[in-house]
Structure 1
Amino acid sequence: MLHGEEFWLVRFLFQRGLAILYLLAFLVAAFQFRALAGEDGLLPLEWYAEGASFRERPSLFYVYPDDRVVGLAAWSGVVLSAMAVLAVPYWLPDAYATPASMVLWATLWLLYLSFVNAGQTFYGYGWESMLLETGFLAIFLGAGPVEPPVVVFLLLQWVLFRNMFGAGLIKLRGDDCWRDLTCMDYHYETQPIPNPVSWFAHHLPDRFHRGETFGNHVVELLIPFLYFAPQPASSFAGVVTIGFMGWLMLTGNFAWLNALTIVLAIATFSDGILEAVLPVAAPETVATPLYLEGTVILIAVVVLAMSIRPVENMLSESQTMNTAFDPLHLVNTYGAFGSVTKDRYEVVIQGTTDERPDEDAEWRTYRFEGKPTDPSRRPPQIAPYHLRLDWQLWFAAMRPTPRRQPWFYRLLVKLLERDERTESLLAEVPFEDGEQPTHARAIRYRYQYTTPEEREETGDWWRRERVGTYVHPVSLEELRTRAPAA
């Protein structure tokens, strides 16, 4: 117990939320990993193996760099996650519930570690490390009638603190717009993947944007210190954090970053708080087994020792965001949107079946699920699902050429080859079965939201202007000389 509180209900709710996110993450891996980072992916598995040793980035796919193993691991993760969602360890006799739970959560963590460490650029997001760090701690929560170890909840609150406080600090140190309270003037328009509400949020009054930017600083820099306070202050901080993350989920597509933060915020509650607001009651519990208590104390010592570098980074003037300091992603540093882009650039990829790839050719546009390619198309709701290629295209468009994006030319090769796995990552391929494009090109545009008056007149959500050619018309043969070979 902590401050006289109990946490059986908190554990049960936390585990279900985390299991749902694991399920989602493994489904993303099942549908996308082989096209992105598999044997013949945009960033092939062998590039991962050549770029790091197993000790530096341990993964099952270092030992077995095979797409069949990737598929087996992904779908095994889906099945095990579903078992965790259904609380299968709780169905077992009391003596077996906790050991079975530990094996289940440890297997999920090890499997997902393999995807993150081998996924290269397409798995280089802060929420990957946060899912692994959270998932590792979940191994030691126990199950069944066993009273959950309180220390684990403190460690989960520590993850939540570093996530929120690190994000607050990097904003103050980063972009001037966070200090003059103007960042939200740009955020909804320039975020990686806007959603249907983003356009409306962008057009809220300037006074609202100033207030929400100031509120962002309060929630990220002050509220986190209450996570460790006695109840009900800790729960109050958790509710504020959940409300903040809920607003971000309502107005944008940030994969499962917000959802995972909400799940972590559950650790700020207690059974007494949950019983006061929900029609539930905790069952009778039994003492935490000594082997679990001893293991948790050891884990806490390790986490505290490994927290030194993340804390030093968090307090440093040269703070780095979203970094793992160990190959197992046990204790990481976090921080999102230290700077906000002021202009939105998009790369529009097109292909043609014409032999002469000039401006008179019939250029057909590839459509990605999360990209605002068609100005008249309403921004979609994607999150908490994660469109990894769409996210990387957002980063790629910030630069005028794909020179630092080795996967981009391979993407064009795959599109001209009509590669089925690659095409499965798109919302629409503009060629019928049997049609073979002869050339591809990529145009760079600046996108801006339409004004309410423009949208009323045209129905468009965006207006755009061409600002350059990202890749000039190129044939498959020419691309194969540019694209790095697998």
Structure 2
Amino acid sequence: MEWFAAGDYELARQVLQRGIAALYLIAFVSAANQFPALLGERGLLPAPWFLDRVTFRQSPSLFHWKYSDAYLLGIASAGAGIAATLVAGLPQQGPPWLPMIAFLLLWVGYLSIVNIGQTFYGFGWESLLCEAGFIVAFLGSDEVAPPLVTILFVRWLVFRLEFGAGMIKMRGGSEWRDLTALTYHHETQPMPNAVSWYAHHLPRWFHKGEVLGSHFAQLVVPFFLFAPQPVASIAATILILTQLWLVATGNFAWLNWITIVLAFSAISDDVVRAVIPSLGLVGAAPPTPLWFMVLVLVVTVFLLVLSWRPLVNLFSRHQLMNASFNRYHLVNAYGAFGTVTKVRLEVIIEGCSDEHPSPDSEWKPYEFKGKPGDVTRRPRQVAPYHLRLDWLMWFLALGTPDNRWFQMLLVRLLAGDPRTVRLLSLNPFPEAPPRWIRARAFRYRFSTRAEKRQTGAWWSRTLVGTLVDPVTLRP
């Protein structure tokens, strides 16, 4: 059946399958590196404690069978291995069921991690990765043409992602409507990089143009993803270019990269050949097996049924942001930065080894891998890797209500816990943990051009107050 096969989307399929698999690879490596310290048996928010309080029905996860840090590392390692084979394109060389099973295994494995990840996995791009992995499982292998319904559903995912983000902004802070949002955002975003400093110092008229460009890309362009070619390809290209600007000027884990990958669902082979004639693409594929066609259609109908609540949410006055309407993280609502923080606060954790701290005592700061600390340190580019503790430190400075993890972080640092210390960039107490620890809040702003020339500092900061007075574990 010609209507089922999308023979002119072979490049799209290759980018979708290999790109999503690459992001799963990063996600599983991130879990192996960070989960035991954050959520493991002796983590800041121990997963076993959480599993004792929820049922499988409430939060489906393989870890309801058992949890151990070794088991977590086993699932993360297996997931990373399967993802690596998909990046290399090996399962795609077999029958259609082979990459399908591989992607469904990735989805089950990562869903199991996300559903017990609590605050540390409460980010929209976790649900996005789960949903994307499930959908691309039904793109088939090199033996069949990409199913058109799957390609179109990926576009529906991109539409929800972009249009949802645009509507959140229009319903959010006035800074998006008066075009001043980007005057602040480069400086106050969770984890700026070095380019953020330069972007922040661009003229105000440029920042207003950025906001207008964002509104156009998120509120207008997504509708054209469903237009005939080459209009759909042009719309996808616009989305990709806007996402590349976000990649260049910030660290949003894999959010921007997965959006870029998913946008390729609207780029056809014919358009690519017209632009790059020398690019070789696979020709017509053999007929699609009936069983695979039926399965894809059944799954698509199932996903369309799940789409009703996210569709209503897009046009709701009380639009939800980054919400999952089912425990399997399929067909979710997305959106971010409905309001933009105008002042940057940073929580700096400091330790002291004195028996009894005095005004003259030396307090040494802990440095995180991504978030600002030392004002002379160049802001890092870490995305698409996700530094979960650094991100939560940004939310902490905004005054998030549940900070149990932060209290436990201070306890672990006082105890010199090796796993916790490895989450940081600099441990100022390598020989023995400090006797005392405290947390102070600072107002950070990017240095001016003159200040940077004179001092080399990327940031300027002023003390706001004390978040946690000196505490100790010792009597």
TM-score after normalising by structure 1? 0.94
Partner of 2:334 in structure 1? 334
Helix, strand or coil for the counterpart of 1:427?
strand
Shift in Å at residue 190 of structure 1?
0.2
Structure 1: which 4+ aligned runs deviate by more than 6 Å? none
Alignment of 1:290-329 (within 5 A): 290-329=290-329
2:217 corresponds, among 216, 219, 230, to 219
Quote the Cα distance in structure 1 between the aligned partners of 2:52 and 2:314.
31
Please list the CA deviations of residues 196-237 of structure 1 after superposition, one character each: whole Å capped at 9, or x if unmatched. Answer: 100000000000011111111000000000011110000001
Residue 66 of structure 1, aligned match among 54, 65, 68? 68
Counterpart residue number, 1:483: none
Q: Which amino acid in 2 is paired with 1:25?
A: A
- Structure 2 CA distance for aligned equivalents of residues 256 and 192 of structure 1: 14
Q: Which residue of 2 aligns with 1:448?
A: 445
Structure 1 residues 73-92: aligned runs within 5 Å: 73-92=75-94
1:28-43 equivalence runs, <5 A: 28-43=30-45
Partner of 1:460: 457
In 1, Cα distance between the equivalents of 2:6 and 2:240? 24
* Cα offset, 1:275, TM superposition: 2.8
**Distance (Å, rounded) in 1 between the aligned partners of 2:456 and 2:247:** 25
Match of 2:427 in 1: 429
* Residue 397, structure 1, aligned to residue 394, structure 2: no
Cα shift readout 1:144-202 (whole Å, capped 9, x = no counterpart): 22112110011100000000000000100000000000000000000000001000000
Kindly indicate whether the alpha-carbon contact (under 8 Å) linking 1:274 and 1:280 is maintained by their aligned counterparts in 2.
no
Q: Which residue of 2 aligns with 1:285?
A: 285
Task: Provide closer, same or farther for how the CA distance between residues 51 and 175 of structure 1 changes in structure 2, counting only shifts above 3 A.
Answer: farther
Deviations 1:371-410 (Å, cap 9, x if unpaired)? 11111111111111100000000000112xx762110010
**Counterpart residue type for residue 300 of structure 2:** A
Q: Which amino acid in the other structure matches residue 203 of structure 1?
A: H
For 1:10 and 1:215, the matched residues in 2 are separated by 25
> Amino acid of the residue matched to residue 294 of structure 1?
V
Q: Which moved more, 1:50-59 or 1:129-138?
A: 50-59
User: Do the aligned partners of 2:435 and 2:474 also contact (CA within 8 Å) in 1?
Assistant: no
Structure-2 separation of matches of 1:420 and 1:322: 33
Specify every segment of 5 or more residues in structure 1 that has no aligned partner in the other structure, as ranges. 479-486
Report the equivalent of 1:439: 436
- Match of 1:313, SS state, is helix
Q: In 1, Cα distance between the equivalents of 2:271 and 2:66? A: 47
Gaps of 5+ in 2: none
Q: Deviations over 1:233-288 (max 9, x none)?
A: 00001000000000000000000000000010010111212333341221341122
- CA drift at 1:312: 1.5
Following superposition, the deviation at residue 4 of structure 1 comes to 7.6
Q: Which moved more, 1:192-201 or 1:298-307?
A: 298-307
CA RMSD of aligned residues (A): 1.5
Q: TM-score, normalised by structure 2?
A: 0.97
- Equivalent position of 1:235 in the other structure: 233
Q: Distance in 2 between matches of 1:79 and 1:186?
A: 41
Aligned partner of 1:417 in structure 2 is 415
Counterpart amino acid of residue 373 in structure 1 = G
State the alpha-carbon separation in 1 of the partners of residues 176 and 474 from structure 2: 47
Identity among equivalent positions (%) equals 48
Hey, what does 1:482 align to over in structure 2?
A: none
SS of the residue aligned with 2:393? helix
CA contact (8 A) 2:6 2:145 kept: no
2:133 to 132, 135, 139: 135
Residue 470 of structure 1: aligned partner? 467
